[in-house]
Amino acid sequence: MRIPIHREGWRFIAIFLALNVLFFLISPWLGWVFAPFTVWCVAFFRDPERIIPKGAGLVVSPADGKLLPIVLAAPPAELGMGPEPRVRLSVFMDVFSVHVNRNPMDGRVVAMNYRKGRFFNASFDKASEHNERMSIRLRNEAAGEVGDLVVVQIAGLVARRIKCDISVNDTVRRGERFGIIRFGSRLDLYLPPGAKVLVSPNQHVKAGETVLAALNEGK
C-alpha cells in the first residue's frame, strides 16, 4: 500500500532510514530498537487525501487532532482586527496526528504575520498568546470584512518549525493544503460574528473534512 508523504518529510525520513541501517550494521538488536522511530517518522509526514465537504459557508478543520475547550478571545493583535472577543476553536495535534494543515474556508488572504515566541505545551491556553506563531487573516468575499476569519499555526513544546505555503492576496480553497508544523502543535481558528459552531470540545477532527462551523453570510 502506498503511503502519501508530504514533501517536507522526505529528508527526515532519509535521515531516519540511514541511521536505522547504520544501527543494524552496528548491532541487529540496536537496529530493531530504533526501527519504531523510523516507522513513526514515516507516519508523521503522511499526507492522506481528504473528502472536502460541499456547501456554502462551511468552515472545515485546518488540522487533525482533538478540539480543545471553546473560548471567547481576541484574535492576534498583529492582524489589526481590534480587541473584540471572537469564538476561538483550537485543535491540538499530538505527535501521532497528521500534521498537514488545510484551509478552513474559501477566501482571500488579506493579512499575515509571523511572530517569534516561546514553546509552551500547545495544549495549554497560554500557548495561543505566548508561543511562536503564524497568523493568517482570510476574507470570505461573500460576507466582506465582517466575515474575516483567522487561522493561526502555533508551535508547541516539541514543534520548532512552522511551514506556511500561502501569501497575502492568494485566493485559497476550502480543504486545500497550506502548510505543516513539525512535530506536535496546535491551530487556532477565530470565527467571524454570527458563525454557528457545529462541534464540541474533546471531539477528534480531521483536516479538510470535519465541518467545525457554518458562517452567517447574510442570506
Q: Which residues are catalytic?
A: 185
Distance CA(122)–CA(96), nearest Å, equals 14
20: left (phi over 0), alpha (psi -120 to 50) or beta: alpha
Q: Are 64 and 97 in contact (CB under 8 A)?
A: yes
Strand partners, 177: 102
Distance CA(54)–CA(41), nearest Å, equals 33
Non-local CB neighbours of 18 within 8 Å, separated by 6+ positions: none
Non-local CB neighbours of 4 within 8 Å, separated by 6+ positions: 46, 47, 48, 49
Coil, helix or strand for 211? strand
Pick the closest to residue 168 from 86, 123, 113 (CA basis).
113
